[in-house]
Amino acid sequence: MRKFFRGKLFIFLTVICICLPHFQVNAAERVYEPDNDLVIVIDPGHGGDDPGTQGGRIQERFMNLITAQALAYRLNMYDGVTVYMTRSDNDTTLSLTERAVYAKSVNADFVFSIHYNACVMHDRFGMEVYTSRIAPYNGYGYQFGDLLMRRFEENYGIYPRGVKTRKGLRTEGDYYTIIAANIYRKIPAVIIEHCFADGNVDAVHTESDDQFRSYGETDADAIAEFFGLSSTSLGIDNSGASETLVSASTTEFNDMTYEDRTAPESVSISVISVNALENTVTLKIEGEESDGMMMFYEISTDGGWTWNDPKPWPDSDCFRGTYSGSFEVTLPFNTGDRPSIVVKGFNRYDAYTKSNKIVFMDKFDSRHLPLYRTDIK
Ligand SMILES: [Zn+2]
């Protein structure tokens, strides 16, 4: 269905930036101070009877292991760190609690759980890191995740979705067992969802094993920078201050990891101009999300039956919590089209609000301006 738009819907953007209150990013102190015998556990997610997401080129358990092995190999090249893995083959089935018990048994200081993402509609994109809701763990994961996502955006152009938290269903603790079970044992843990294995947008990032390997190496370098580890053999010196760490609190919840489960307050569209000769419509799209941020949007030109691939909401910046309050797009049509346009605006937690509809009464025929209505819900 989505192919309908490919190549055809070429969107021209202009952006009016509304700068919302944001969080300044500066070089900051390391919030986690490792002792002399730092022990890191790398946890390749899934395995054995649990394949993880099957929406990608290969099952997630394979992707996770390739990344985790490259991560462990490179992290071992740093000085003063011991690295363990929860599994080293693809046949081992481990429960989430067993992974945390293992981490405790080797006296882990930190657990990094390695994953690739997927979603029901197979239409998401980007990277996210989950951290605990509980201090000080929340701050550790926030500072690390922020640093990691900056590297992935810079190195690979993988879209950052931010450091997130998720509340347990019946508790104030964490939803994800790999985080909760480690925190229970006083071990900080984060989940790294490198990108989406099952969508069109990130398909380019999951084409080869070499990509999965290099993500593991980038993970290792970010972990090393987070802890201030240096490597004689790699010639990397992280002993000084870091220029790229975000300041994070280890006593209070970090607002940038806030779980926003309510949909954006409003998303609306209006027509700026219709060009009858060129069969284009220029739209203004507006969105408001006061307890979070707008992150991406989808457009339908058939009244909501099919949707184009999601696009980043202009100026959406998960590092600062800012986005554009309004922007313009120009949609091309063909003679004979009678579009019915509607937009979904999504926040960082994939909750969306649908806009009003703009329904054209006439077909585009290059002779006269087609009439339309904008007030349809
Ligand atoms: Zn997974």
Indicate if 42 and 158 belong to the same structural domain. Answer: yes
Average per-residue pLDDT for the chain: 91
Residue 348: name the closest of 255, 253, 246, 259 by CA. Answer: 259
Q: Determine the distance separating the centroid of ligand 1 and the alpha carbon of 64, expressed in angstroms.
A: 8
| 50 CA from centroid of ligand 1 (Å) | 10
Percentage of the chain with pLDDT > 70? 92
Domain CATH number, residue 327 = 2.60.40.10
Q: Tell me whether residue 33 is in a domain.
A: no
Instruction: Establish if 28 belongs to a structural domain.
Output: no
Q: Are residues 302 and 242 in the same domain?
A: no
Tokens of 209: 């094993």
**24-45, pLDDT tens digit by residue?**
445 689 999 888 889 999 999 9
Domain containing 160 — which CATH number?
Answer: 3.40.630.40
**Measured in angstroms, how far is the CA atom of residue 115 from the centroid of ligand 1?**
4
Q: What's the gap in Å between 355 CA and the centre of ligand 1?
A: 32
Q: How far is the CA of 120 from the centre of ligand 1 (A)?
A: 14
| Token pair for 172 | 């104030």
The tens digit of pLDDT for each residue in 204-241 reads: 999 999 999 999 999 999 999 999 999 999 999 999 88
Residues of the chain with pLDDT under 50: 1-12, 16-25
Mapping DSSP onto H, E and C, the string for the chain reads: CHHHHCCCCCCEEEEECCCCCCCCCCCCCCCCCCCCCEEEEEEECCECCECCCCCCCCCHHHHHHHHHHHHHHHHCCCCCEEEEECCCCCCCCCCHHHHHHHHHHCCCCEEEEEEEECCCCCCCCCEEEECCCCCCHHHHHHHHHHHHHHHHHHHHCCCEEEEECCECCCCCCECCHHHHHHHHCCCCEEEEEEEECCCCCCHHHCCCHHHHHHHHHHHHHHHHHHHCCCECCCCECCCCCCCCCCCCCCCCCCHHHCCCCCCCCEEEEEEEEEECCCCEEEEEEEEECCCCCEEEEEEECECCCCCCCCEECCCCECCCCECCCEEEEEEECCCCCCCEEEEEEEECCCCEEECCEEEECCCCCCCCCCCEEEEEC
Q: How far is the CA of 47 from the centre of ligand 1 (A)?
A: 10
Q: Is 31 domain-assigned?
A: no
CA of 239 relative to ligand 1 center, distance in Å: 33
- Considering its fold, how many domains does the chain have in total? 2
- Kindly give the distance from the C-alpha atom of residue 84 to the centroid of ligand 1, in angstroms, as a whole number: 19
Range of the domain at 168: 38-246
Last residue of a domain, one of 213, 246, 279: 246
Q: How far is the CA of 191 from the centre of ligand 1 (A)?
A: 9
How far apart are the CA of 252 and the centre of ligand 1, in A? 28
Q: Has residue 202 been placed in a domain? A: yes
Assigned domain for 301 exists: yes
212, 246, 280 — which closes off a domain?
A: 246
* pTM summary value: 0.91
Domain co-membership, 228 together with 357 = no
Q: Clarify whether residues 221 and 344 are in a common domain.
A: no
170, part of any domain: yes
Q: What is the pLDDT of residue 1?
A: 29
**pLDDT above 90 covers what percent of the chain?**
82
